[in-house]
Homo-oligomer: A and B are copies of this chain.
């Protein structure tokens, strides 16, 4: 061949084979098998122009739970660890907390008494530590905390205890025209403080539980202030409500790990056309945690029982994931 022909051949080879090769495994941290094949098959089906399952890019909406689905939620929700540390930090300004529940239990890390204070007690903690400031101030507090707090078992920052296979899945879906949303029972502003940097999910694609805010003009400056009043609980039957409120159309793929995601999975996968429902099962005590039906955080009972008949794929962290953390 002439030099020109060789060059042309090399370019063609690069484009054809190089391109294919680079795309050959978009999910390197997922072991080959039925789970990975199901995910890839779904994405190929909805992106194949002219295929019977084709979905236009604008309708390729995927929703992800956060705690236990994108990052670890044991031995307690990260946001609860944050709230407890905030109680410590704010205690000097509240001398009565030493005697008053649930603050006394929080200060002593008396998880049994804290648990017995129920949802009402936990809400009191959240209100005392999450309200009264502007959203910017709150996000700064969250970021400062995330920069220094360490997971009690792994000794690493919480933002490093995100699941590498799920990061790859987020990126793979986005590369295929999907808009990826977080839909979590966690606080919306808590998640917005790190979701963009950690997951590549911008603030406007984070749906979560919220407290109310009020608009005020303080000394001529327009400001929002966080109020000690529940606005919306984005959990269980609240998740489809939150999806409808914020997104306004039914997603085609949903990813969860607990019964708090059941209604979201049900809502998403019962739509017409190709759908993907996926449940992360924490069955890897060695590399992460092993829990399901009896856990107080991220209980998975009904979802595990009904996944097969509903066509939801159960991901075994132990068997399906080559690695857990980045």
Contact = CB atoms under 8 A, between A and B. Distances in A.
Contact of A135 (B179, B224, B231, B244): B244
Contact of A204 (B215, B240, B248): B248
Interface in A136-169: none
A240 B266 contact: no
A117 B188 CA distance: 38
Contact of A267 (B58, B215, B246): B215
6 contacts: A204-B204, A204-B247, A206-B248, A210-B245, A214-B237, A215-B241
Interface residues of A, number: 36
B240 A224 contact: yes
A240 B267 contact: no
Contacts of A237: 214-215
Interface string A60-93: 0100000000000000000000000000000000
Number of copies of this protein chain within its complex: 2
Nearest to A239: B215
Interface in A190-239: 192, 196, 202-204, 206, 210, 212-215, 217, 221-222, 224, 231, 237-238
Contacts of A293: none
A249 interface: yes
A217 B266 contact: yes
Contacts of A284: none
A139 to B, nearest CB: 9
A113 interface: no
A241 B222 contact: no
A309 to B, nearest CB: 12
